[in-house]
Structure 1
Amino acid sequence: MTTSPEPTPTPSGPTPARTRASWLRDHSELGVCVLLLVLGVLVLTDALTMNVDLTQRGPVGPRTVPLVVGAGLLLVALLLAADVLRGGRGEAEGGEDIDLEEPADWRTVLLLAGVFLATAVLIDPLGFPVAGALLFWGAAYALGSRHLTRDPLIAAGLALLTYVVFNNLLGVPLPGGPLMGVI
């Protein structure tokens, strides 16, 4: 009686896409490295292309600080990347009261981004008091407050107070808009 050889089991290891995803998840700090690298290159490029008067009065000119900051950003990006690639990991924050297994609340993020963009667009035509009130009320609404009579009143008071403090007391001019001619 002859027995046929048993089939060898095929390895059921992770697929290449799965391996790549887990590698990226394990090395997610590299995203911070890329951000620091891009920021450092941007700062250095801006510093080197800066139009400056060559007659300066001392050894430190207007390019010195941006050059030092840009070089520092590049150095930190490279050192952090080397640490991450050697297996270093950032320590998880112990004080946060969040569940890392829960997905991100994209509705809140998108509402806040929309409120900030609307404020940027409306601040010139409507002025800071109106745009600021919309910003404060929209942020409160996006973060979960649903007091539809109280929140707009508080937002209007905060925006007007901010406008008066910056414009009148600190001397930082903010756009008043059409309502400032009436008030």
Structure 2
Amino acid sequence: MRTQTDIPPAETGGARRSWLREHSELGVSVLLLALGVLVLTDALTMDVDIAQRGPVGPKTVPVVVGAGLLVIAALLALDVLRGGRGQAEGGEDVDLSEPADWRTVLLLAGVFLGAAVLIEPLGFPVAGALLFWGAAFALGSRRIDRDPLIAAGLSLVTYTVFNNLLGVPLPGGPLMGVL
């Protein structure tokens, strides 16, 4: 039997890489831990008006979410260290040997950036309709007779729900004065 001093340095580095590869899901635990610490730090340093009504204040949900992230990170790390492994994705119809479809990715990124630039001058209803229509086009829909109407309807419904029902102000743009 060889001791640690008998093993050449090249073998210990390979063993370390092998251990990290077998326990790669610990990276998700570290990410969840960092996110939990960030959320908790932000929630606990939040400047809140002292005149709070009721037992639940604005810090409650972020503290619960941050604590939940820490608990999940710890449980996942414990499971991985005990030998647990995630199940391989079986339900997706993805051929991993095929290259990425960069055309679609770039089209979606361009549509998203275009909507972000146009939301202030044109308003959410127009920019949202262009976003929804552009995303449908980038993902393969070529129904020019139907897609713009669905995109406009979806954008107007989204605008109405957020702006009027939920009280989240969205820029209306020049068309909101007409409608």
TM norm. shorter chain > 0.5: yes
Shift of the 159–55 alpha-carbon distance from structure 1 to 2, 3 Å rule, reads: closer
**When the two structures are superposed, what TM-score results if normalisation uses the length of structure 1?**
0.69
Shift of the 121–25 alpha-carbon distance from structure 1 to 2, 3 Å rule, reads: farther
Residue 134 of structure 1, aligned match among 130, 150, 161:
130
Question: 1:51, CA displacement in angstroms?
Answer: 1.4
Tell me the distance in 2 between the aligned counterparts of 1:154 and 1:75: 42
Tell me the distance in 1 between the aligned counterparts of 2:147 and 2:117: 22
Q: Which residue of 2 aligns with 1:80?
A: 76
Structure having the larger proportion of residues in helix:
2
* Amino acid paired to 2:45: T
Tell me the distance in 2 between the aligned counterparts of 1:105 and 1:19: 36
Stretches of structure 1 lacking an aligned partner (at least 5 in a row):
1-13
Q: Which residue of 2 aligns with 1:92?
A: 88
Residue 139 of structure 2, aligned match among 133, 140, 143:
143
**When the two structures are superposed, what TM-score results if normalisation uses the length of structure 2?**
0.71
State the Cα RMSD in Å.
3.5
Whether 1:122 aligns to 2:118 is yes
Task: Using the aligned pairs only, state the percent identity.
Answer: 81
- Aligned residue-pair number: 170
1:93-150 deviations in Å (ceiling 9; x for gaps): 4333333444443432333233223222321211012101111111111111234454
Stretches of structure 2 lacking an aligned partner (at least 5 in a row):
1-9
* Amino acid paired to 1:109: V
Tell me the distance in 2 between the aligned counterparts of 1:18 and 1:149: 59
Tell me the distance in 2 between the aligned counterparts of 1:88 and 1:160: 47
Shift of the 171–56 alpha-carbon distance from structure 1 to 2, 3 Å rule, reads: closer
